[in-house]
Structure 1
């Protein structure tokens, strides 16, 4: 079986397993997994930039927030229905990522990281300053009556779960296919050795620009999906911590792996959920586990599995 065939089988098998889980999981875990799938979509977008292209961003929350506010405000203030609102969210995220890319890619290394952080803070402060419309720190709630597609209420746990799964599946399959194409292989070449990739005749800037836009658009899709599925939009999602989270999720799951983001988000989510049931100092337990994983599984969970036992994992 070729590597590409194994990759397709893995991804389709994972999606099929998640489809089946929707029918057997209790409502509580349906809700948890729906949230995990939306956040995993966000992590998939981050992985395109960090895991495959090697560009460390500390400002990805601005793209998540752009999609969230673009979609949420269109529904909340403009009375737009779900599908057009999602499109508006995607356009907002794509436009912002293109502008940020054109400016931030003038820098390299640590400077790129700092510039993305500065842009993200500007977006966060803008959301607070425009509190009359955005709700500021408190945010706003999208009316349940407007959160439906073709008569299916997204407030229903099962419908919400499969909507979240659809969002994640699209992002996963697009990313997996992209990494099998020459474009994705050039991104990996940029990560491994940018100068050599440039000497081979590839337009490195154009590929990095495309990577930022694709990454930001996927992150924006996750933000728009979160707004629609969970009915809440707030400035918290534009804060620094939501730029750090995808970095942690990708590192935990395995940077440069297609299913690593999902594994990282699920592991982190349930680790905190379990630890919070034991003690109020649950972040201490979570922190200790994260440190141990960083020390003994440096490639992340899926990355270590690939390195040790399954080198064919994409």
Structure 2
């Protein structure tokens, strides 16, 4: 079996497994896995910047929130149907990513991290100050009748799960295709040695800008889908916490791997979920587990699998 065939079998097998779980999981885990798939899509977007281009952002929640509010406000105040509202949400995130990229990429390293954090805080404060429309910290519920997409009621658990799986599968294979194409190779070249990539004649600024826009667009798609599938838009999703989460998921799953974001999001979600049922200090347990994992699997779950077993893992 060729390397390409192995890659396809692995990723198609993952999607097939998730599809089969739709019919056998109990209600609680069924809902959880749908949520994990949307959050993993958010992490996939983050991984394009961090894992493949080497750009560390501390403000990615702004793209997630831009997608969520672009979709939700279109439905609530403009009367849009879910399909065009989703497009508005994705376009909002892409537009914001373009603006942020053009400005933030004038910096590098720690300065880039700080600038993205400042932009994210600006978006968060804007949501709070525009409380007349966004309802600030309280947020607002998207009603069940507003969540019917092409005749499919997305408040139905099975429909919601399959919609989350569709989103996850599209972004998973789109990213897989991206990193195997010349543009993706340029991203990796920049991550490994930016100066050498520049000397080879690549337009590094333009490639980085593409990375930021692609990353922001995927994250916005996740945010818009999360709001539509789970029926809520709130300022919490624009906080620093939601910028740190995808960083943790990608580091845990394995930076620069396609399945890493999913593994990291799944691991962290259930670690917090299970430990919170044991003690109120569940974040302490999560912290200890993270330290242990970083010490003994510094390349993340998928990274260690690639290092020890599957050297062909993308």
Is the TM-score greater than 0.5?
Answer: yes
- Where does 1:137-216 land on structure 2 (aligned, <5 Å)? 137-216=137-216
Give the aligned partner of residue 113 of structure 1. 113
1:4 deviation in Å?
2.0
- Contact 1:4–1:180 (8 Å) recurs in 2: no
Give the aligned partner of residue 222 of structure 2. 222
- Where does 1:23-42 land on structure 2 (aligned, <5 Å)? 23-42=23-42
1:286 deviation in Å?
0.8
1:149 deviation in Å?
1.5
TM-score by length of 2: 0.99
Give the aligned partner of residue 270 of structure 2. 270
- Where does 1:227-306 land on structure 2 (aligned, <5 Å)? 227-306=227-306
1:3 deviation in Å?
1.9
1:53 deviation in Å?
0.2
1:163 deviation in Å?
0.3
Cα distance in 1 for residues equivalent to 2:79 and 2:24: 35
Give the aligned partner of residue 61 of structure 1. 61
Give the aligned partner of residue 74 of structure 2. 74
Q: Number of aligned pairs?
A: 314
1:294 deviation in Å?
1.1
Cα distance in 2 for residues equivalent to 1:258 and 1:14: 11
Cα distance in 2 for residues equivalent to 1:55 and 1:2: 32
- Can you list the C-alpha shifts for 1:89-136, whole angstroms capped at 9, x where unaligned? 011000000000000000011100000000000000000000110010
1:157 deviation in Å?
0.5
Give the aligned partner of residue 132 of structure 2. 132
Cα distance in 1 for residues equivalent to 2:180 and 2:8: 10
Could you tell me which runs of 5 or more consecutive residues in structure 2 were left unpaired when the two chains were aligned: none
1:35 deviation in Å?
0.4
1:76 deviation in Å?
1.3
1:2 deviation in Å?
2.4
Q: Does 1:312 align with 2:309?
A: no
- Contact 1:19–1:162 (8 Å) recurs in 2: yes
1:185 deviation in Å?
0.8
1:313 deviation in Å?
1.0
TM-score by length of 1: 0.99
Give the aligned partner of residue 101 of structure 1. 101
Cα distance in 2 for residues equivalent to 1:12 and 1:174: 13
Cα distance in 1 for residues equivalent to 2:5 and 2:182: 17
**Moved beyond 4 Å, runs of 4+:** none
Cα distance in 1 for residues equivalent to 2:65 and 2:149: 22
Q: Which is further off, 272-281 or 206-215?
A: 272-281
Cα distance in 2 for residues equivalent to 1:159 and 1:64: 22
1:255 deviation in Å?
0.3
Cα distance in 2 for residues equivalent to 1:111 and 1:4: 38
Give the aligned partner of residue 18 of structure 2. 18
- Can you list the C-alpha shifts for 1:250-276, whole angstroms capped at 9, x where unaligned? 000000000000000000000011111
Give the aligned partner of residue 5 of structure 1. 5
Cα distance in 2 for residues equivalent to 1:28 and 1:147: 21
Give the aligned partner of residue 92 of structure 1. 92
- Can you list the C-alpha shifts for 1:169-196, whole angstroms capped at 9, x where unaligned? 1100000000111110110000000011
Could you tell me which runs of 5 or more consecutive residues in structure 1 were left unpaired when the two chains were aligned: none
